[in-house]
Amino acid sequence: MSGILLLEQSLNGLQFGLMLFLLAAGLTLVFGIMDMINLAHGSLYMIGAFLAAKFVELTGSFWLAVLLAMAGTAIVGMALEMSVLRRLYARDHLAQVLATFAIILIANELVRIVWGPQVPLGTPAALSGPVRLLPGLEYSSYRLVIIAVGLAVAVALYLAVTRTKTGMLVRAGASNREMAVAMGVDIRRLFTLVFGVGAALCAIAGAMLGPILAVQVGMGEDILILAFVVIVIGGIGSIRGALVGALLVGVVDTMGRAFLPGLLREFLSPPVASALGGALASILIYLLMAAILAWKPQGLFPARG
C-alpha cells in the first residue's frame, strides 16, 4: 500500500466527514437543546440542494446560489419550526419520530411536484479539473474546495458557539435547558434561531455535495442515518463531538470501503469480496459506535455534565 493511496483516501474520508459534520451540527443542537428527534433534517439537506440548483439556473453563479440556498433553506427551516415542530417538544420521542417522518414524505412529494424527481447541478467550470498535490497525485480541485468550505464552516461555528453571547446561551440550553429558562433565556426564540442555522448548514452540505452526487428526491434519507450515528458517537448537543464523530465516521467508512474488499480478495472471489467488504465497511461504523458507547455511554463529548 503506497503513501499516496493512503493520503488520497484520507482526503476522501476528510471530505465526506466534513460534509457529515455540517448535517450533524444542526441535528445535535436540536436534539441536545430541545430533546427533539428531527428526522426531517435530511429533507432540509434535499431542499438546500434543489434550491442551489435552481438558483444556479437563475443567477449563473454557483457561489451566489449557495448563499441564496442557505438563506432560503434557513427560512424554510424556521417556518417549519414555528408551524409544526414547536408543537412536538413536549411530546415523547415516538410522536416526534412519527411526525417528522411524515414531514420527510410530504417534503419528498412536494419537491417532486414542484421541481421533478431530479435536477441537474454541475461543478463550477473553474473547479472541474484536477490539481496536482504531489508527483503522482492529482486530486479533484472541487473536492479540495469542499474540504476548505467544511473546515471554514467548522471554525466559524466553533467561534460562534464558544465566543459569542448567543453561543453561550446555546451552550447553556444544551447543558441544562430548565436552568437556562429559569435564568431568563428566551429558549423559544433561541431555538428558532438554532433551527435556522442548522437548516443553512444543511443547505451548504446539499449544495456542495450536489455536483458530486445527484440532486434528487430522497437524497437526504441515507445520509441522515449517518448523521445520527455521528451525533450519538460525538455526544448529543456537542458541536465538538459532532466534528470529531463526523471525521471518525467519514474516515472509517471511506477506509473500510477502500481497503476491506482488497483484504478479503486474498481468499474470496472478487464479487463476493466486494459485496462482503462493502457490507463489513457499513457495519464497521456501527461497530465503532457500539465500541464508543460501551466505553463512554454519553458519547465522546457529552454536553450535559
Partner 1 sequence: MLMRFMALAAALMVASAALAADKVKIGFISTLSGPNAAIGGDIRDGFNLAVKLAGGKLGGLPVEVLVADDQLNPDMGKQHADRMLKRDRVDFVTGTVFSNVVLAIAPQVTDSKTFFIGPNAGPAQYTGAQCNPFFFVSSWPSEAYSEAAGEYVTQRGFRNVIFLAPNYQGGKDAANGFKRYYKGKLADEMYTKLGQLDYAAELAQIRAAKPEALYVFLPGGMGINFIKQFVASGMSKDIQLVVPLWGSDQDIIRAVGDPMLGLFSLGHWTIDLDNPANRKFVAEFEKEYKRLPTGYAASGYDTALLLDAAIRKVKGKIEDKEALRKAIRAADFQSVRGEFRFNANQFPVQDYYLQVVGKTADGKIAHKTMGKILSARGDAYVQDCKMK
Contacting partner 1 within 3-42 (CB under 8 A): 4-5, 8-9, 12, 15-16
Q: Which listed residue (132, 189, 296, 304) binds partner 1 by CB under 8 A?
A: 132
Helix (H) or strand (E) holding 96: helix 93-115
How many helices and strands, by DSSP H and E, does the chain display?
11, 4
Verify binding: residue 62, partner 1, rule CB under 8 A: no
DSSP 37: -
Q: Which listed residue (98, 129, 134, 183) binds partner 1 by CB under 8 A?
A: 129
Verify binding: residue 225, partner 1, rule CB under 8 A: no
Verify binding: residue 120, partner 1, rule CB under 8 A: yes
Measure the CA–CA gap between 43 and 21, rounded to whole angstroms: 16
Nearest to 44 by CA among 104, 126, 1: 104
Q: Which listed residue (104, 258, 300, 303) binds partner 1 by CB under 8 A?
A: 258
Nearest to 53 by CA among 109, 103, 107, 115: 115
Q: Which listed residue (143, 171, 177, 240) binds partner 1 by CB under 8 A?
A: 143
Verify binding: residue 268, partner 1, rule CB under 8 A: no
Q: Which listed residue (82, 84, 137, 145) binds partner 1 by CB under 8 A?
A: 137
DSSP 119: E
- Residue whose C-alpha cell is 412529494: 109
Verify binding: residue 216, partner 1, rule CB under 8 A: yes
Q: Give the three-class secondary structure for 131.
A: strand
End-to-end CA distance of the chain: 43
Measure the CA–CA gap between 48 and 68, rounded to whole angstroms: 9
Verify binding: residue 109, partner 1, rule CB under 8 A: no
Verify binding: residue 128, partner 1, rule CB under 8 A: yes
Looking at beta carbons only, is 65 or 281 nearer to partner 1?
Answer: 281
Binding site for partner 1 (CB under 8 A): 1-2, 4-5, 8-9, 12, 15-16, 117-118, 120, 123, 128-130, 132, 136-143, 212-214, 216-217, 254, 257-258, 261-262, 270-271, 274-275, 278
